[in-house]
Structure 1
Amino acid sequence: MTLRQLEILRAVIRHQTTMAAGRLLGMSQPAVSNAVKQLEAQLGFPLFERINNRLFPTEAARLIHAESEPLFAQHAALEARLQELRQDKTGRLRLLATPPLGHGAIPQALARMLGRQPRLRITFDVRRLDEVVEGVESGLAELGVGVSLEARPGLSVRPLAESRMVCVCTPDHPLAREPVARPALLRPWPFIALEAGTRMGQAIRQAFAEAREPFQPTVEVRYADTARALAESGVGVAVVDPFSARNRRQPLTVLPFEPAIPVTASAFWASRLPLSRPAETLLREIRSLLEQPEMPAGAPPLRPISSPLHPMARNLREA
């Protein structure tokens, strides 16, 4: 089955008529019809049901279409890269990140890069971790940055910094006088929790369960950045990743949370492709920023991981 045959099948499924598919592909209607018949004869089973001059895909055709979509996504990404190379030889970086670094270290790192390379072109967006991973896998972005990434085949992973979850509250909060925040100490205060559907949200719930403390949040949010902003405003206390805590806009007390929940910020990209020079430069800038002590006194430090291939990266890549 050739890529051209898959392209014809895809067009007919999307437009339901051979005439419309032909217009899209620059083919005549009879040529599309013959191509479909030849493909059905080659495969030995029908691909469409013909009802009222429209073609409706069979279950087999829908399966083939779904399985072949990643091929077209990769082809589109390659075409976009080639277009970039034709139009702009100054360099381009397509980047996706989750909020912890996407709202903090990455904008600062990009500002540094563009200060030295003003002709560099950047495409950047902040999304949920699963969307960032999907964007990198499909070729929409060259580089992804996220926190608490699980092992994923086909991705090369480079850890950037590691630390542990922290508890945040306003400086005048009674909890701010404590050296460490534990689930029992959080019980009297309104608690801002991360959703159970997030990895960090699940880890926090497990910590409360291990401490045999009831988990009764006042507010639930998806992003740690949102929880940190609410804590800054005095809504309550929150347990967030340390990278989100660094993104504070107002005075904020940051305490170690126990039991300790380790977190790692990582960059990742498709294993089949080498990192571009702008991507390597950006990762150096991010590590440099994470080395700067921006956390309040008493907060657990970030430990930048400067080696190109940390053991964790090998484990994730080989998984």
Structure 2
Amino acid sequence: MATERPSFELAKGINGLDKIILRESRNRSAEVYLYGGHVTSWKNENGEELLHLSSKAVFKAPKPIRGGIPLCFPQFSNFGTLEQHGFARNRIWEVDASPPPLPTNSSSNAYVDLILRPSEDDLKAWPHNFEFRMRVDLGSEGELTLTSRIRNTNSDGKPFTFTFAYHTYFSVSDISEVRVEGLETLDYLDNLKNRERFTEQGDAITFESETDKIYLSTPTKIAILDHEKKRTFVVRKDGLADAVVWNPWDKRSKTISDLGDEDYKHMLCVEAAAIERPITLKPGEEWKGRLELSAVPSSYSSGQLDPKKVLE
């Protein structure tokens, strides 16, 4: 029996860049630019945008796109010798015509498989052959799933080591009204204090100033509660032990050329990542990291999420 072709549309985006459009039957959608393998849009059945895209985002090489879901590989931040967050987010990816088998949502055919291989310049900066495959899947309930598979294809017998993050920018109504649950009592590295290690003390993470923390050994589920929109984002992850929480606030925002001065009020980055314990692959070995995002209605009682089993 022939398998059904995934339903996606190839279109031209900003500055003529190629993008993939995924559509789900209830008017939900997602968009992925081949530049960076970069998810720039994820909309619910009401057409509401769930990801934050910078008002000053630059859709032109070599600048990465600011907002959406940038891919940090083979290096997160400056944890190494490469450019900030590595090079995957400003390379041209290809649609993968013959991906290896990967289970997908059985009731959804709105997905696309992408692939990135190193260029000659990449090999000069990071001398390792690899195949980075990623499936972007828009599920039947509107959930967005990114599954990355990175394989060492070195022919010289050498292993390689990398760090990784899905640098997700969520769209929120007001950063001052948002709380993150699921990271309580965990250790974190504070990037604003030379990556000094601390333990989270609050019963939830709230925001009133610049925040840039790497939470370690985190659970597979994290919730982002948006009080004003009565919406909760649920982040589910596999193969990604860490979680970065970032908001630049006002002063830092003014130093970022491709971020609007007021954008920080309506964005929050909660990033599924592998940082503290870098991934090492021998030739022929493959690593898989999976991120699933969903948005569910929520209501509050005394500042707490009603028991909707979000984090159970």
TM-score by length of 2: 0.25
TM-score by length of 1: 0.24
Larger radius of gyration: 1
Greater fraction of residues in helix: 1
Higher relative contact order (CA 8 A, sep 6+): 1
Greater fraction of residues in strand: 2
